[in-house]
Amino acid sequence: MKKNGLGLMLFLFPLIVNAIAVPQSSTFDKRMQSVSYNAMNSTVIKSKMGFVTTIVFDEGESVISAKTGFPDGWQSEIEDNVIYLYPRPVMQKQNNGENEVDVVIAPILKEWDTNLLVRTTKRIYSFDVQLTQDNPAFVVQYRYPQEQAKKQMEINQKRQQEVEIARKKQLIAKSFEQADSPKNWNYFMRVNDKFDSRRIVPDFAYDNGLFTYLGFNSHKVFPVPFVVKDGEEQSLAFNVEIKGNYKIMVIHNVNDKFVLRYGKSVVGIINQSFGKINIGQKNTLSPQVKRVEVHHE
């Protein structure tokens, strides 16, 4: 049984060793080191008597506490995201036969080795602190490759979304350009900033001299159109087209002014080129138009 137990210990020993993270030295100065953060690993810190080792954590991270297993033999100081760590002698009282005297015990290899646990505003770090005579670490800088990879992935996804949105807008614009009828994009919008009116502001507006088109992205609230006649507002019939991520309101006429309403939200649509486009008696639209929804008063 003892032999089998020893064999198991020998088998597990490499795994235990591999669980310790050893900082990598800089190509310029081996005392300047860096290490990747792993919450399941302890990081080796080698320090020398008479020298300070600086441990640097993530930007925006603040150290809350730093506790060592041998506080008499190691001193740590906290400053923002940095810990300054160095070994120190131990004062001990001894009896010389006549009275007690203070004896200074200098740091001793192996006997000064301990652990250090650091808690920050973001993470918890575990250290295997070792006293050394050679090659102490002056600076140990933490890296965070997993978090950096996650941030980069989010940046890439955002860029892809922006590219896709731009592509869809180009397709919509191209579709409009390929339609048979003349276009008028000269529209102005007056927004009542009260009552959250910007939620019903169209992303674009145009007409072909026959119908008026108002486009809304998926985040906008779809309003109801009105026209002012004889001093009174009258609701208008309209169709709805879906093009990409846009819901397009197709109003069945062209006017100099429209009013959009949703609850108390109000937006005025001004056709600044009203009457300037002549399409004759044409009453058909682009064959690309697909009618999917009808609203009546």
**Of the candidates 11, 116, 16, the residue with the CA atom closest to the CA atom of residue 66:** 116
pLDDT score at 5: 47
Q: Write the burial class of residue 248 (CB in 10 Å: 0-12 exposed, 13-18 middle, 19+ buried).
A: buried
The more confident residue out of 19 and 109 is 109
Residues of the chain with CATH 2.60.40.2500: 174-295
- Structure pTM? 0.50
SS3 of 185-209: the string is CCEEEEECCHHHHHHHCCCEEEECC
Q: What average pLDDT does this structure show over 3-21?
A: 52
In this prediction, residue 79 carries a pLDDT of 96
pLDDT digits (tens, 9 = 90+) for 142-164: 999 988 888 999 999 999 999 98
Instruction: With a cut of 60, say whether residue 8 has pLDDT above it.
Output: no
The CATH number given to 174-295 is: 2.60.40.2500
